[in-house]
């Protein structure tokens, strides 16, 4: 019964986080979709609406759109399945690791749903000298930082080989 409760908590967390991501994207589209920009911290942070058909940092801009979109859909589905597998395997591990996987998976699902439904990802947070991003991107970043924190807090692994 405890396993079922844990699975329901993870599922509920994913639904809540993805829902928050999509709610913020909906507000961004309604408020800033017509080109409006709201400056939050002068010269540092603003809210603006951007439709992103690429990935982070426009790394695939050289790939034609006709190839990029289906490729991103296939790779995204594989990534979500892999994350689900890792999350299922993290059952007996630290709450920090499980929480980190939930954040990364919620971010992946949030942006994947955008790609499936709209054909692009809605981005709306702009920090100076950084690409525009969204809440799902923040989930992924925070999740990876938590995984790194957990990895490095365990101490360095024993040396093997020639070292």
Per-residue pLDDT tens listing for the chain (163 residues)? 667 888 899 999 999 999 999 999 999 999 998 888 999 999 999 999 999 887 776 666 667 777 778 888 999 999 999 999 988 887 778 888 899 999 999 999 999 999 999 989 999 999 998 999 999 999 999 999 999 998 888 755 544 544 4
Residue 123 designated active-site: yes
CA distances from residue 119 to 53, 64, 71, 102 in whole angstroms, order as listed: 7, 14, 12, 24
44 vs 47: CA distance, rounded Å: 11
**Is the separation of the CB atoms in 73 and 116 below 8 Å?**
yes
Q: Which among 97, 104, 113, 99 has a CA at the least distance from the CA of 137?
A: 104
Q: Is the pTM for the entire model greater than 0.75?
A: yes
Q: What is the pLDDT of residue 59?
A: 62
Catalytic residue selected from 21, 54, 114, 123: 123
Catalytic residue selected from 21, 54, 114, 137: 137
Q: What is the pLDDT of residue 46?
A: 96
- In 33-51, which residue ranges form alpha helices assigned H by DSSP? none
Which DSSP symbol is given to 159?
Answer: P
Tell me which residue has tokens 């395997």: 89
Residue 137 designated active-site: yes
Mutual angle of helices 65-89 and 95-117, in 10-degree steps: 150
Q: What is the pLDDT of residue 163?
A: 45
């Amino acid at each position: 019964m405890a396993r079922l409760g844990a699975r329901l908590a993870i599922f509920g967390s994913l639904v809540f986080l993805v829902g928050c991501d999509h709610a913020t994207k909906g507000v961004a589209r309604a408020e800033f979709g017509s080109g409006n920009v709201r400056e939050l911290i002068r010269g540092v942070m603003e809210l603006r609406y951007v439709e992103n058909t690429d990935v982070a940092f426009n790394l695939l801009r050289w790939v034609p759109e006709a190839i990029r979109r289906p490729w991103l859909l296939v790779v995204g589905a594989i990534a979500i399945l892999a994350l689900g597998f890792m999350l299922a395997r993290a059952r007996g591990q630290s709450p920090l690791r499980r929480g980190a996987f939930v954040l990364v998976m919620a971010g992946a699902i949030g942006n994947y749903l955008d790609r499936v439904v709209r054909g692009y990802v809605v981005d709306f947070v702009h920090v100076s000298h950084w690409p525009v991003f969204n809440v799902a991107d923040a989930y992924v970043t925070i999740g990876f930082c938590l995984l790194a924190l957990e990895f490095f807090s365990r101490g360095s692994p024993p040396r093997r080989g020639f070292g």
